[in-house]
Structure 1
Amino acid sequence: MAEFSLGPEFERYQRDMQEQMGDFSKMQESIKAAVGRGEAADGRVIAEYKAEGGLTKLELDPRAMRLPAVELGEEIRTAVNAAAQDFQAKAREASKAMFDVPDDPAKGMDPSKALASLDKIANGFAGQMRDLARELGLQQQRAKEAMDNYKGPGFPGPR
């Protein structure tokens, strides 16, 4: 029996998609695993920030509770903001390679470069889908020809 294969184009398509999706999945996993940490009041107020859940941890040392309420509120805010900024830095680092994020966050992302990265991914995907459709059409034609030429029991032969 002949081995069925979609051919080298499909295999290339699979490799390219696995590579692209692998990079994207790695970036997503890195961001999901990132934990931003922030401290204030000489380490007496500790906050953690994650992609899922936002502020996920807030620890107050009993000594921090001796601070006046207004000052304690400011220290908590400082720790939470530091944790959020730390998380953002880790998320930028995780997405830096894929979306050409600049080192200096004040510069912000260049929208044209980000769109170019997305466009490159989309065009690559579209090209691979065209190749796949062409290869599937060829395989369909081959299967039809094989069925038309099949001379097994109970078949009258080519139509």
Structure 2
Amino acid sequence: MIEREFGAMDLDRVLKNADAQMARIGDLRQVLTELVGRAADQDGLVQVEMGNAGLRSLQLHPKAMRRTSGELAELIQAVIAEAADDLRRKVTESMQELFGDENPMRFADDPDGPMAQVREAEAAYNRTFDDLMGELDQIRNRMER
């Protein structure tokens, strides 16, 4: 029973997949440094660029100064949020291109997904452990005879 569960595991394939994932992570680092999220309000008064380190650029048209400080602050916050959303979308798209079905961002919308996989792995481990302990009990019983 133990051989069946461990025999099904292809260690070479697992190691190759790990190597491929690490290479993709290196590629992702490069891509992330180049991605820029952009947004502007509908009147073009506020323009924002967001990068991996945060706010890269904030440009205010001179007409923006005609707004009250509160209105301008709200407008800036809204445009920054839009630029951050644009950057997040670009990061997700880039990760999907690099990782495909193995994209770690697939869990961003479903945080319970990884926990289900952890529970499945735990159940498999428990079955393997129980099988191993049963085999050891059988060996011990045979040796005691």
The verdict on a shared fold, with TM-score over 0.5 as the criterion, is: yes
- Of residues 42-51 and 22-31 in structure 1, the stretch that sits farther from structure 2 once superposed is 22-31
CA distance in 2, matches of 1:32, 1:111: 29
Alpha-carbon contact 1:32-1:51 (below 8 Å) kept = yes
Displacement after TM superposition at 1:20 (Å): 2.8
| Aligned twin of 2:48 | 47
- Structure with higher Rg: it is 1
1:21 lines up with 2:26 in the alignment: no
Alpha-carbon contact 1:36-1:90 (below 8 Å) kept = yes
1:1-159 aligned at under 5 Å gives the runs: 19-52=20-53, 54-96=54-96, 97=100, 98-99=103-104, 101=106, 108-113=109-114
**Aligned AA (1:63):** K
Of Structure 1 and Structure 2, the greater helix share is in 2
Residues 66 and 41 of structure 1, relative CA distance in 2, 3 Å threshold: farther
Residues 64 and 99 of structure 1, relative CA distance in 2, 3 Å threshold: same
Counterpart secondary structure, 2:106: coil
- Consecutive unaligned residues in structure 2, runs of 5 or more: 1-12, 118-145
- Consecutive unaligned residues in structure 1, runs of 5 or more: 1-11, 117-159
CA distance in 2, matches of 1:20, 1:99: 11
**Aligned AA (1:34):** L
CA distance in 1, matches of 2:16, 2:32: 24
Displacement after TM superposition at 1:39 (Å): 0.9
CA distance in 2, matches of 1:114, 1:49: 32
| Aligned twin of 2:138 | none
Poorly superposed stretches of 4+, deviation over 4 Å: 12-18, 113-116
CA distance in 1, matches of 2:60, 2:41: 10
CA distance in 1, matches of 2:116, 2:23: 20
CA distance in 1, matches of 2:106, 2:14: 27
* RMSD between aligned residues: 3.2
| Aligned twin of 1:124 | none
Counterpart secondary structure, 1:43: coil
Q: TM-score, normalised by structure 2?
A: 0.56
